[in-house]
Amino acid sequence: MKGFKEFLLRGNVVDMAVGIVIGAAFGTVIASFVKDLMTPFIAAVVRAPDFSKIAFTLNGSKFMIGNFLNGLISFVLIAAVVYFGIVLPVNKLVERAKGPVVPTTRPCSECLSEIPLAARRCAHCTSPVAPVAS
């Protein structure tokens, strides 16, 4: 039981469990957003948000194209909401938090290969180069 307890209390297992619970709750919020806000908006614009009645029959088999279209539209809307509402803002915040990128290399003036800023000789063509103060 001690090993099982250590396994459960490991940070990554607890983090994963919290992530799954938050993800499930967030999925419900996004599904509600699409169903309750986006679908009526589409209805107001195109006047036909429900494609479930579109179907055709071939040799006695009914192909429900409309249900597939509803699922596809729902997927695209959820993906757009997740991307523009979460991924894009989080990427901007992470980019802002990192600050400016400080270069650690420069091109050699002879062979144009990348060399460290403080190098006095190129490792590729062995030509002497002036070091750059960091």
SS3 (DSSP) at 23 = helix
pLDDT for the residue numbered 77? 77
Alpha-carbon distance of 63 to 57, in angstroms, equals 6
Confidence of residue 14 (pLDDT cuts 50, 70, 90): confident
DSSP 31: H
Alpha-carbon distance of 10 to 5, in angstroms, equals 9
Confidence of residue 115 (pLDDT cuts 50, 70, 90): very high
Where are the chain's structural domains?
2-98, 103-134
| Domain 2-98: which CATH number of 3.40.50.850, 1.20.120.430, 3.40.50.720, 1.10.1200.120 | 1.10.1200.120
Which pLDDT tens digit goes with each residue over 26-82?
878 877 777 777 767 777 776 766 666 778 899 999 998 877 877 787 788 778 878
pLDDT for the residue numbered 59? 92
From 15-24, 84-93, 113-122, the region with the lowest mean pLDDT: 15-24
Confidence of residue 94 (pLDDT cuts 50, 70, 90): confident
